[in-house]
Amino acid sequence: MSPDEFRHWGREVVDWIADYMERVEAYPVAPSVEPGEIRAQLPAQPPEEGEPFDAILRDVNAILLPGVMHWQSPNFFGYFPCNNSGPSILGEMISAGLGVQGMLWATSPACTELETHVLDWLVELLDLPRHFKSDSLGGGVIQDSASSATLCAIVTARERATAGQSNQTGVVASLTAYATAQTHSSVEKGIRIAGLGSDNLRLVETDDQYRMRSDRLRQAIAADLAAGRKPCFVCATVGTTSTTAIDPLAEIGPICRQYDLWLHVDAALAGTAALCPEFRFIHEGLEWADSYCFNPHKWMFTNFDCDCFFVRDRAALTRALSVLPDYLRNKATESGKVIDYRDWQIPLGRRFRALKLWFVIRWFGAAGLKAMVREHVALAQHLARWVDSDPRFERMAPVPLNLVCFRHRGGDAATQQILDRVNGSGKAFLSHTRLRDRLALRMCIGQTHTQRRHVEAAWRLIAEAADDLHSDKPSGS
Ligand SMILES: Cc1ncc(COP(=O)(O)O)c(C=O)c1O
């Protein structure tokens, strides 16, 4: 593709994306395709000769679009959001255009230095502990996902607890780790990958609001020590996946310090709320954390993938992850004056992700980002009040930020029917969870373009579905 052809088709593609942004609200949020339906429309063999670009774009529209879940619809309320925004997409385009691989400072100094700079900005913007800034002993790095950040934290905790021995000889000590049943599954996955084993992950009891009980954490650590095991890692969550519960960091932190356990704080969705001073209560006690991560690709209007991971002691992280083959040696690394982010993550290669985050922060400004977060939280609080004032529904968890969990009092079957009816309508999309073994609807308000009218329309749909539970109308009519 020559630069002129690229210019022509690039403009077409930008128009395509802009048209999509304009139309996305009108599409059914969830696709209604059967398994295999998309593949059945694709040729079995790859093309021998190159094809015209407009033919490729036509197939995107005709074949792929019907099989897309419209995460960017303002009527998307499921899971946690996975947002994008104009400046983020444009930053991503330039990143792809430059196509740099920033594994070392030397392989693209701008890629490394912008990343360090933007992560330092985020420490200021979210008012994070100063020891996460690059001019301290710690610092930040962009990972693809919270799962990767957590894995890096677990491996570092493992190495700290065994003085680097696990990396040499394999995991020999009987290491234990602590989380709750509400902790994201990526923690158990990380525990498995790091060789600790699921059986050594203790699920600490939670209180009536799904928060880790620090007294139970202390007891679990003491029991493991008494049995000759070596506790090494705690994951506390700020904004759990099921209900956005906030573990009490100010209680958990001193316990970790007393027993020398690595404290990782996973704030994948909720961390963004700390842009606003009035929501910084979520980070009370964060100064105890050894590491922390949050995902701008969830609620900070930056397209997937982008997780920001901060550590208190960057030397501990790089000691755990660095292997230096001769072919990567270079003068800049040896000078000790640069950061080589390859040592801060699992893969070697890395994209120029900081670019899109920089575009987002500069385009919206702190004030613009705060305004969107405030609006989402306010809408979720309205929704919680509507739920509370409808006697057919029961709220299932507190709403500290932008997620409302509720159920129909008629039970699981009625709640499931409402979920199927709303999602089947294509007009809104919710997801579900199980809380104390009861089915709950989850409605998270955080899509970049969601406004009050979208939340009101979704609530009307839910209420109508509840009305029809008692009528003879078939579900989905
Ligand atoms: C609290 C929490 N942690 C971690 C994750 C995993 O995020 P990622 O897809 O970035 O690995 C999620 C995903 O929703 C989450 O809710």
Choose one of 269, 353, 403 to mutate for the ligand 1 pocket test, by most ligand atoms within 8 angstroms of C-beta: 269
Q: Where are the domains of the chain?
A: 3-69, 100-351, 366-468
Task: Give yes or no for a contact between 146 and 268, defined as CB atoms under 8 angstroms apart.
Answer: yes
Q: Is the CB of 243 under 6 A from ligand 1?
A: no
Distance from Cα 184 to the centre of ligand 1, integer Å: 6
DSSP string spanning 209-231? Answer: TSPBPHHHHHHHHHHHHHTT-EE
Q: Is 38 exposed, middle or buried (0-12, 13-18, 19+ CB in 10 A)?
A: middle
Out of 3.40.640.10, 3.20.20.140, 3.40.309.10, 3.30.530.20, the CATH code matching 100-351 is 3.40.640.10
Beta-carbon contacts of 239 under 8 Å, excluding residues fewer than 6 positions away, are 245, 246, 267, 268, 269, 270, 271, 273, 282, 400, 401, 403
Q: Is the CB of 268 under 6 A from ligand 1?
A: yes
Q: Is the CB of 80 under 6 A from ligand 1?
A: yes
Coil/strand/helix, residue 422: helix
Locate tokens 């230095």: which residue? 113
Residue 472 has what pLDDT?
46
DSSP 312: S
3-69 and 366-468: identical CATH topology: no
How many Cβ atoms sit within 10 Å of the Cβ of residue 342?
25
Distance from Cα 147 to the centre of ligand 1, integer Å: 6
Residue 471 has what pLDDT?
60
User: Residue 270 CA: which ligand 1 atom is closest?
Assistant: 1
Distance from Cα 72 to the centre of ligand 1, integer Å: 18
Residue 474 has what pLDDT?
47
Distance from Cα 243 to the centre of ligand 1, integer Å: 13
Residue 470 has what pLDDT?
66
Residue 476 has what pLDDT?
41
Choose one of 142, 147, 182, 235 to mutate for the ligand 1 pocket test, by most ligand atoms within 8 angstroms of C-beta: 147
Tokens in use for 248?
């009490």
Coil/strand/helix, residue 178: strand
Residue whose CA is at the smallest distance from ligand 1 atom 16: 241
Distance from Cα 267 to the centre of ligand 1, integer Å: 8
> Closest Cα partner for 276 from 349, 173, 182, 368?
368
How far is residue 462's CA from residue 477's CA, in Å, rounded to a whole number? 14
Q: Return the H-helix or E-strand segment holding 393.
A: strand 393-395
How far is residue 119's CA from residue 70's CA, in Å, rounded to a whole number? 29
How far is residue 341's CA from residue 332's CA, in Å, rounded to a whole number? 13
Q: Which residues pair with 432 in a beta bridge?
A: 441
Topology of domain 3-69, per CATH?
Answer: dopa decarboxylase, N-terminal domain (1.20.1340)
Tokens in use for 258?
């007393």
Q: Is the CB of 107 under 6 A from ligand 1?
A: no
366-468 maps to CATH 1.10.760.10: no
Q: Is the CB of 299 under 6 A from ligand 1?
A: no
Residue 42 has what pLDDT?
97
Helices (H) and strands (E) in the chain, counts: 15, 11
Residue 172 has what pLDDT?
79
Q: Is the CB of 414 under 6 A from ligand 1?
A: no
Could you list the pLDDT tens digit for every one of the 477 residues in the chain? 999 999 999 999 999 999 999 999 999 999 999 999 999 999 999 999 999 999 999 999 999 999 999 999 999 999 999 999 999 999 999 999 999 999 999 999 999 999 999 999 999 999 999 999 999 999 999 999 999 999 999 999 999 999 999 999 999 779 999 999 999 999 999 999 999 999 999 999 999 999 999 999 999 999 999 999 999 999 999 999 999 999 999 999 999 999 999 999 999 999 999 999 999 999 999 999 999 999 999 999 999 999 999 999 999 999 999 999 999 999 999 999 999 999 999 999 999 999 999 999 999 999 999 999 999 999 999 999 999 999 999 999 999 999 999 999 999 999 999 999 999 999 999 999 999 999 999 999 999 999 999 999 999 999 999 999 966 444 443
Q: Is the CB of 237 under 6 A from ligand 1?
A: yes
Distance from Cα 266 to the centre of ligand 1, integer Å: 8
Coil/strand/helix, residue 192: helix
Q: Is the CB of 184 under 6 A from ligand 1?
A: yes
Distance from Cα 148 to the centre of ligand 1, integer Å: 10
Q: Report in angstroms the alpha-carbon separations of 152 from 66, 111, 189, 195.
A: 37, 21, 12, 13
User: Residue 148 CA: which ligand 1 atom is closest?
Assistant: 11
Distance from Cα 140 to the centre of ligand 1, integer Å: 18
